[in-house]
Amino acid sequence: SPTSQITHRKTNLVRVALPLQVQEYLEPFHLSVEKLREVSARLRKDLVRGLGKHSHHKAPVKMLPTFVRATPDGTEKGDFLALDLGGTNFRVLHVRVVEEEQKVLKMDSQICAIPKEMMLGPGVQLFDHIAACLNDFLVSQNLKGQTLPLGFTFSFPCEQKEIDKSILIRWTKGFNCSGVEGEDVVKLLKEAIHRRGDYDIGSVAMVNDTVGTMMSCGYRDQSCEIGMIIGTGTNACYMEEIKNVRRVEGEDGRMCINTEWGGFGDDGCLKDIRTEFDVVVDETSINPGIHNFEKMISGMYLGEIVRLLLVRLTENKLLFEGRTSEALLTPDAFETKFMSEIEERDGGLENTQNILTELGLKWDSVDSRIVRLVCNAVSSRSARLCGAALATLANRIRVNRRLDHLKTTVGVDGTVYKKHPNFSEELRATVRLLAPDCDITFLVSEDGSGKGAAMVTAVAQRLAHQTLEIYCFFRVCTL
């Protein structure tokens, strides 16, 4: 029997007798520190390629300039609308920025469902839906008739031409609407609103969620210079020296760069660490070949990697006495949030058993322990890869400034980081190993996508008709 060949693997979850064959499947997920160092070195090179004047066109890590580099002066004020598209939910918000006190107050918000078909349908239909949701919100808030400025957190890779001109490079995560790639997203939104003709919006500012996150953390900690998202997708932005951003004129000061690190590996440079399960996840996704790094890390894909592993282990009679279930064989049926429940320190085993029963599987106690280890292998790899990527950014900032030691803060958001029981700890441990000369504080953002967008819009308004130079340190106050 497979359990006759056993080895003991000590994890922070359980001490379990692990069949050798199971271990063989999980081994490729355990990346050594040396391997993580190699990954970090490859990313370091890709950051430079992305920043280069001539090399950026073909660079897998896009390194997009955001034109964000100044601080609000405290005179920003007023009411703003914010849209947040590209995370777990689509949201519409009403935000008030209060002068002097520099407070950002979230007045109200509404979640609007986007049906899956719409995420894959014509772009015009998606933007009509967004315009309709905004209309419903304005009606419910009694705001129709006012022409409010709008901050649009659009969490996809965009080539930002101006604060209100942002060309979608490509869709990621679950979206693939036709007629949007290569187009100006602000124009598409405005056209949809004008097609309705029953309300209008004021000036628009486009923001990536990483940038909103960095900014919304800036008020608590003025050294917040990195924004990171580990949720449905993954990405980070950081403050780069302008002289290194070859596509942008200027020598002095810094600019926030949206790295789009999800695209790391799209040129094949992560081949050695991708497993057969990663290959299947990519090939069966709606955008094969795109965002390889993201597909090894973020919430949209982790559950599916686990499911594929469980199916394979079952087919090889290493789990559930070789019997799968309809649910287990259904793509995406094993949700990433199950991993958080399964890996919980207390109660995790019981959660595992409930989830397996829900999935129609007949389990015994060894099965449930193996399932926990599978989840742990997949989530640990994600945390460690993210840690390696973050260490690369921190090291870069330190070297840029010729410092022996860097003290900096990272603003973080995203369901995986916030909800998974050991993710943040493993990520931090990896950063400590790979960036020993950087002392990093992690700050969880409070709704950077909503309030950050409003703040960027507020500053954009003040600086209207000037080059937008924002790098916000402001106070956010939750109502």
Is residue 177 within 8 A of residue 119, CB to CB? The reply is: yes
Kindly determine how many residues on this chain lie close enough to bind ligand BGC according to the rule CB under 6 A: 18
Q: Is 413 among the residues that bind ligand BGC (CB under 6 A)?
A: no
In a 3-state reduction of DSSP, which class is residue 469?
A: coil
CA–CA separation, 263 and 163 (whole Å): 23
Measured from each CB, the residue nearest to ligand BGC is 233
Contact window for ligand BGC (CB under 6 A) among 154-162, 175-183, 239-247, 393-401: 154-162
Q: Is 218 among the residues that bind ligand BGC (CB under 6 A)?
A: no
CA–CA separation, 423 and 415 (whole Å): 11
Q: Where are the beta strands (DSSP E) in 214-370?
A: 224-230, 234-241, 254-258
Answer for which of 67, 156, 334, 474 binds ligand BGC (CB under 6 A) is 156
Residue with tokens 């073909």: 58
CA–CA separation, 80 and 451 (whole Å): 10
Is residue 417 within 8 A of residue 224, CB to CB? The reply is: no
We find the least distance from the C-beta atom of residue 327 to ligand BGC, in angstroms, to be 27
Q: Is 166 among the residues that bind ligand BGC (CB under 6 A)?
A: no
Q: Is 262 among the residues that bind ligand BGC (CB under 6 A)?
A: yes
Catalytic residue list contains 209 = yes
We find the least distance from the C-beta atom of residue 467 to ligand BGC, in angstroms, to be 23
Q: Is 210 among the residues that bind ligand BGC (CB under 6 A)?
A: yes
Answer for which of 19, 50, 60, 157 binds ligand BGC (CB under 6 A) is 157
CA–CA separation, 29 and 262 (whole Å): 18
Tokens of 179: 């007629």
Closest CB to ligand BGC among residues 298, 457: 298
CA–CA separation, 431 and 408 (whole Å): 13
Closest CB to ligand BGC among residues 301, 363: 301
Q: Is 213 among the residues that bind ligand BGC (CB under 6 A)?
A: no
Using CB atoms within 10 Å of the CB of residue 62, give its burial: 0 to 12 exposed, 13 to 18 middle, 19+ buried: buried
- Find the catalytic residue in 184, 209, 278, 282: 209
Catalytic residue list contains 271 = no
Give the chain's length.
479
- Find the catalytic residue in 62, 106, 173, 295: 173
Q: Is 172 among the residues that bind ligand BGC (CB under 6 A)?
A: yes
Residue 335 to residues 87, 298, 339, 341, Cα–Cα distance (Å): 16, 12, 7, 10
Binding mask 274-313 for ligand BGC (x = CB under 6 A): --------------------x-------------------
Beta-ladder partners of 92: 83, 110
Q: Is 235 among the residues that bind ligand BGC (CB under 6 A)?
A: yes
Residue ranges in contact with ligand BGC by CB under 6 A:
86-87, 155-157, 172-173, 208-210, 229, 231, 233-235, 260, 262, 294
Active-site positions?
173, 209
